[in-house]
Structure 1
Amino acid sequence: MAKVEKKLVKSKSGYKMVTVDERITSPFTIDEPPWTPDYACSNCQNGECHIKFDFLKRKHHCRRCGQCFCDDCCNSLIELPRMCFIDPVRHCKGCAIISKRESEFFDKHLRILLDGGRFLLRSDCDIDEGDLVVTSDRACVCTLSVDHRYLEFKGDTQEQENIAVQKITSVEVTGPEQDGQGHGVTIHYTDAGGEAAWLKMDVDDTSGQRQQSMSWLAALIKAFKLMPGSQQASSSP
């Protein structure tokens, strides 16, 4: 897939690097919130503060939630890649915790997903009259596309379709667990035809890339949890 073209734009909150084509925006980004109008907030919106604004005590807007706070309650400058800002922006105390928690995904796990992992595949296409077809699992490399919108498969996939990240409905950890990671996952998603489908991905232990593949699965679970309305990844024996 070709490199995603981006452009620099300025919003009221700061400069942002966004895709030229809005249709290929990363599913891990979120829109800027509407700001609470100045006339609608005469006091800091931190319930534990609630100090009244005046000439000396000025109001500030948190770039993540859009609410009004005093400087003491909104003085953290933190990176916010989910809104595509190129520089750190002002956060309230509650939003600062969330953005700091997400930073590991954008700094580390997103790169792991782009690098890919080696897996053995089995899907609902491998079912015949209710029984799994007795065949070898299909070996492949799975990567996240450069625009972050699809899981892409290369190898002996028997035409396994790419999976739209936004069409994933659940991610289930399968197999033995070690340090919170399983040996595989089952992805439930809506396919290109609008039908419910599933794909089981097990780490290919014969590839010599087991640790990279395990890290890829852990990164996928973190990515899924960032999706709006996602279910928490569950585990099964």
Structure 2
Amino acid sequence: MSAVPDGKKLVRSPSGLRMVPENGAFSSPFSLDEPQWVPDKECPRCMQCDTKFDFITRKHHCRRCGRCFCDKCCSKKVALPRMCFVDPVRQCRDCSLISQKELDFYDKQLKVLTAGGTFLVTLGFSEKSETMVCRLSNNHRYLFLDGESHFEVELSRISTMQVLTETEGSTPGEKDIHTYTTLLDSQYISEGGLSRATGMLLHYKPPGSQDSQQLRMEAADDKKSASSWLAAMHKAAKLLYESRDQ
């Protein structure tokens, strides 16, 4: 059964207005829950510069980490789509830098992922492949694969994800997504030199099964478009695994 786009509602939290799914169980796997704020009585001093709080020096909570800071150390107001905030919210210096880097994913890469790319898809260890368009669902929870057939992979059920690369003058190889040191315009800097993403290897557990299934995707005709999609998926994977580690 195909996934149905989830309705959203506007809610008010201590940090500001948030646009969240009506059913919390269907939130995007890229999103983060709001942190528990450090109680006021437990932070008499700024947790960054150690300035003592008083009537003049007021304390502020970072909306991303929930820790207490003075105004100087928590003056940045940055968009935080990972927590579904409608407006930019106050964040400490370290958190604001992280959120700024994530904005590129939300502003650009999500559009690439929902637009989709064309791949040769192989299920399991079959010798038969099918040309399919792979795209991220509008609710950001599934990979939809459409060709002569259709099936879906829920992102939260993906256990491992590897990017297949090809370096000029060498044999195509596989590397885990965490082995890349730099990602620039769909190209990767690896130990072997400049490489371009050519495919992806996933392992996931289908609903109702504890057995892992393998899915292999290799760029079809439009390799440039497919490589851009894979680069966006690489960034999505880093956010996905980061969410699991929270």
- 2:132 is aligned with 1:140: yes
Shift of 1:230: 7.6
Structure 1: any 5+ residue segments left out of the alignment?
A: 127-132, 232-237
Shift of 1:156: 3.2
Secondary structure of 1:100's counterpart equals helix
> Contact 1:169–1:230 (CA<8 Å) still a contact in 2?
no
5 Å-filtered alignment, 1:72-87, equals 72-87=72-87
Equivalent in the alignment of 1:210: 223
- 2:95 is aligned with 1:108: no
Shift of 1:99: 0.5
User: 1:196-217: CA deviations, max 9, x gaps?
Assistant: 1111101112xxx332221111
User: 1:75-128: CA deviations, max 9, x gaps?
Assistant: 0000000000000000000101110111111011011111111000112151xx
- 2:216 is aligned with 1:226: no
Equivalent in the alignment of 2:191: none
Question: What is the rounded CA distance, in whole Å, between the counterparts of 2:13 and 2:239 in structure 1?
Answer: 24
> Contact 1:44–1:50 (CA<8 Å) still a contact in 2?
yes
Partner letter of residue 115 of structure 1?
A
Q: TM-score, normalised by structure 1?
A: 0.86
Identity %, equivalent residues: 42
Secondary structure of 2:112's counterpart equals helix
Shift of 1:228: 3.8
- 2:166 is aligned with 1:166: no
Runs of 4+ aligned residues of structure 1 deviating over 3 Å after TM superposition are 228-231
Partner letter of residue 18 of structure 1?
V
Equivalent in the alignment of 2:172: none
Q: Cα RMSD (Å) of the superposition?
A: 1.7
Question: What is the rounded CA distance, in whole Å, between the counterparts of 1:45 and 1:175 in structure 2?
Answer: 43
Question: What is the rounded CA distance, in whole Å, between the counterparts of 1:187 and 1:229 in structure 2?
Answer: 17
Equivalent in the alignment of 1:24: 26
Counterparts in 2 of 1:107 and 1:118: CA distance versus 1, 3 Å: same
Question: What is the rounded CA distance, in whole Å, between the counterparts of 1:229 and 1:96 in structure 2?
Answer: 16
How many pairs does the alignment contain? 216
Partner letter of residue 29 of structure 2?
P
> Contact 1:4–1:146 (CA<8 Å) still a contact in 2?
no
Equivalent in the alignment of 1:184: 199
Shift of 1:191: 1.9
- 2:40 is aligned with 1:42: no
Equivalent in the alignment of 1:129: none
Secondary structure of 2:203's counterpart equals strand
Partner letter of residue 39 of structure 1?
K
Equivalent in the alignment of 1:156: 148
5 Å-filtered alignment, 1:87-106, equals 87-106=87-106
Counterparts in 2 of 1:35 and 1:147: CA distance versus 1, 3 Å: same
Partner letter of residue 85 of structure 2?
F
Secondary structure of 2:118's counterpart equals strand
User: 1:141-200: CA deviations, max 9, x gaps?
Assistant: 01111111110111034x5x3111011122111140472131111112122222111111
Structure 2: any 5+ residue segments left out of the alignment?
A: 168-185, 189-195
> Contact 2:29–2:243 (CA<8 Å) still a contact in 1?
no
Equivalent in the alignment of 1:235: none
